[in-house]
Chain A
Amino acid sequence: MIYGQVLVDGLIVGLIFALVAMGLSLIYGVMNIVNFAHGEFMMLAMYFCFFLWILAGIDPLLSTPIAAVLMYFVGVAVYRVLIRQVLQATMVAQIFATFGLLLFMQASAHFLWKSDARTIPQSWVSGQFQLGGLFFNGPEVVAGAGALMTAAALYWFIHRTETGLALQAVAEDAQAARLMGIDSDRVFGIAWGVSCAAVAIGGGLLSTYYAITPLSGARWALPAFVAVAIGGFGSISGAFLGGLIIGVVQTAGGFFTSPNYKHLFVFALYLLVVFWRPYGLLGRR
């Protein structure tokens, strides 16, 4: 039973990782940029939900969609102001652009809101329940379900809408897409917006039970990179699967040793995977 509990807990956490990883992989797939600041958008959404809750009493579940819409525009703006200019630059310059953004956003949050952990102790989904001998936390289950729904919507968006197909075309071959009349600049902007909106939903859902600090986003994004690498950089469904895997590995690892070491297992998993298959478990090339 205890193994079942660990597995279920891991999968629920894994759904959030999957959502974070899918956004990362989307950006990488479309423009070959690793967005180190991905978690920081999540952190912003968490603070957003926290402040709406404490100042106006709005439940995080209500403010999450608002955060997603806001973060969409933040993502587009970041693309326009910063990323567009480093698209043709070296990998190092691109890493510096997004890593600089990470430091900037993290430190800004620190400056504005201090490093104190903030929590939302009471929301609509608070509470626990038991089902089939397994224990569930209301907020975690809702967050997992929300992440799953968002992931499904993201998948639908990429595979079934015209904009999504344009995204795929640009990811496949930007030059050819341009010849087909696809405005790659606009598509890149949309990719950033959608990616940030997705991770913002993850942040909003997390804010119902997870402590909010300037570092909260990074705690989720760093393992999500592993999920992206496991799935093969750029593969959306691979990132989803990778997210579930690291969720289970992290939960199980933390359970059998100490929660302090849970990330260690995820990092080790990354090394194992890339040494075995240098382009990721599901990756091609």
Chain B
Amino acid sequence: MRAWLGHRVEGLPVAAIAALGIALAVYPLVATLPFWRHVVIMSMLYGAMGVAWNILGGLAGQVSFGHALYFGVGAYAAAYCYKVLGLAPLVSIPIALAVSCVAAVLVGLPTFRLRGHYFVLASVFIMEGIHIVVSNWDRFGAAIGLEYPVYKAKGFADALWHGQFQDKLPYYYLAFLLLGLALVVFRAIQRSPFGMFLVAIREEQDAAQSLGVNVARCKLYALVASAAITTLCGTFYAQYVLYVEPSSTMSLVISLEICFIAILGGIGTLWGPVLGAFVIVPVTELLRAYLSGRIALDMSALADGGIAAWLEYYARGGGGNLDILAYGLMIMLIARFQPAGVLGFLRRID
């Protein structure tokens, strides 16, 4: 037993993993304020997406800046199925997965032939293109999006069926499960021949192919696996906030957030994205919470107020977007000072 606890999974002893897992499971029972639960829910959600992104970006080395597409597919599928078709999440999840699988194949087949910046831009443009279509398609609520009808559940089972809870606690444990699922899938792939092939493709594509690796098929499977988990996260997100709109699900910023989280923690590592998410998400959520509701002054009134009024205006958050400002600054600084990511320090370097 003791030997097993000391066994390391990518540098982290099993005992430490168990301790962290238990701490995470017990946390919401201690932190009862909705906001503090929310912060960790979002961290786990983004952690799961970072881990999923890492299957394609970290193992196979295919840097996708369009992953919000699959997040959006999950969110929109769930919202559309529930609101328009009246289908419960348990039914809409397979639909969402099927759509995202088809989307992944349609995106992957042509784009995986591209290398370097051409691939990155292709992933951006496909996602932006779908964004434009969705924000002009009335069936999906166009730019306004889809809002869930609020459902008053009769008991827990009923609430689970409708995927709507009054309390944050069930959402918390669902996100917990999502993160666990993503980690298990990543680890399973990483330790399988398939995972070895992906890493070989990342390291030297031609050599991998000469050794019998079917490069196109491996990349495609990696994308499908990665997209599927991201779609599950999208479905969860829709059920959690009960509202989907194009720019908060299918935008470049979300795409960037997903892969930044994976890269910040350490690209290609198991724990990197989790670490990244638990650093980035709380910071942005705190900034957002601090700033929301503080922008009370109207800019036009400032002209008469003199410098003091201007200072007050900016101290209260100015025109907003301070969270994104901090985010951009953070990304820049990390790219400049520690391009390999935080876990880059811990990775094996000969």
Q: Taking the complex as a whole, does A directly touch B, i.e. does some CB pair lie under 8 Å apart? A: yes
Decide: A274 and B128 in contact? CB cutoff 8 A.
no
A67 at the interface (CB under 8 A from B): no
Assembly CA distance A100 to B327 (angstroms): 8
Give the chain A neighbours of B279 by CB distance below 8 A: none
Decide: A222 and B334 in contact? CB cutoff 8 A.
no
Nearest B-chain residue to A81, judged by Cβ? B336
B335 at the interface (CB under 8 A from A): yes
Give the chain B neighbours of A113 by CB distance below 8 A: 319
Q: In the complex, which of the residues A90, A102, A260, A271 contacts B339, with contact meaning CB atoms closer than 8 Å? A: A90
Binding site for A on B (CB under 8 A): 63, 65, 110, 113-118, 120-122, 125-126, 128-129, 132-133, 135-136, 253, 256, 260, 263, 267, 299, 314, 317-322, 324-325, 327-337, 339-340
Decide: B125 and A267 in contact? CB cutoff 8 A.
yes
**Which of the listed residues A102, A108, A113, A226 has the most CB atoms from chain B within 10 Å of its own CB?**
A108
Q: What is the minimal beta-carbon distance from A281 to any residue of chain B, in angstroms?
A: 12
Give the chain B neighbours of A225 by CB distance below 8 A: 121
A130 at the interface (CB under 8 A from B): no
Assembly CA distance A108 to B314 (angstroms): 11
Beyond the given pairs A34-B120, A264-B129, A267-B126, 13 more chain A to chain B contacts, judged by CB atoms under 8 angstroms and listed by A's residue number, are: A92-B263, A92-B267, A94-B335, A97-B336, A99-B256, A99-B331, A114-B319, A116-B299, A225-B121, A233-B117, A260-B132, A263-B129, A274-B118
Binding site for B on A (CB under 8 A): 28, 34, 82, 85-86, 89-97, 99-108, 110-116, 214, 222, 225-226, 229, 233, 258, 260-261, 263-264, 267-268, 270-271, 274-275, 278-279
Q: What is the minimal beta-carbon distance from A208 to any residue of chain B, in angstroms?
A: 23
Total residue contacts A-B, CB cutoff 8 A:
140
**Which of the listed residues A105, A107, A226 has the most CB atoms from chain B within 10 Å of its own CB?**
A107
Assembly CA distance A108 to B329 (angstroms): 10
Q: Is the interface of B mostly helix, strand, loop or mixed?
A: helix
Give the chain A neighbours of B253 by CB distance below 8 A: 103
Decide: B128 and A222 in contact? CB cutoff 8 A.
yes
Assembly CA distance A91 to B115 (angstroms): 11
Decide: B332 and A82 in contact? CB cutoff 8 A.
yes
Assembly CA distance A278 to B260 (angstroms): 27
Assembly CA distance A82 to B125 (angstroms): 26
Give the chain A neighbours of B122 by CB distance below 8 A: 270-271, 274
Q: In the complex, which of the residues B116, B327, B328 contacts A91, with contact meaning CB atoms closer than 8 Å? A: B116
Decide: B328 and A101 in contact? CB cutoff 8 A.
yes
Q: What is the minimal beta-carbon distance from A93 to any residue of chain B, in angstroms?
A: 4
A-B contact pairs, 26 of them (CB 8 A): A34-B117, A82-B332, A85-B336, A93-B339, A95-B63, A97-B335, A99-B328, A100-B327, A100-B328, A103-B253, A110-B325, A111-B319, A111-B322, A112-B319, A114-B299, A114-B319, A114-B320, A229-B121, A260-B132, A260-B135, A260-B136, A263-B132, A270-B121, A271-B122, A271-B126, A278-B114
Decide: B132 and A93 in contact? CB cutoff 8 A.
no
Q: What is the minimal beta-carbon distance from A254 to any residue of chain B, in angstroms?
A: 11
Assembly CA distance A91 to B120 (angstroms): 10
Assembly CA distance A226 to B122 (angstroms): 10
Known: A82-B332, A86-B335, A100-B332. A91 touches B319 (CB 8 A): no
List the 7 closest pairs (A to B, CB-CB), nearest first: A103-B328, A100-B331, A104-B328, A100-B332, A114-B319, A93-B339, A107-B325
Give the chain A neighbours of B135 by CB distance below 8 A: 260
Decide: A263 and B128 in contact? CB cutoff 8 A.
yes
Give the chain B neighbours of A94 by CB distance below 8 A: 335
Decide: B263 and A270 in contact? CB cutoff 8 A.
no
Q: What is the minimal beta-carbon distance from A31 to any residue of chain B, in angstroms?
A: 13
Decide: A111 and B321 in contact? CB cutoff 8 A.
yes
Decide: A104 and B332 in contact? CB cutoff 8 A.
yes
Known: A34-B117, A267-B125, A267-B126. A110 touches B319 (CB 8 A): yes
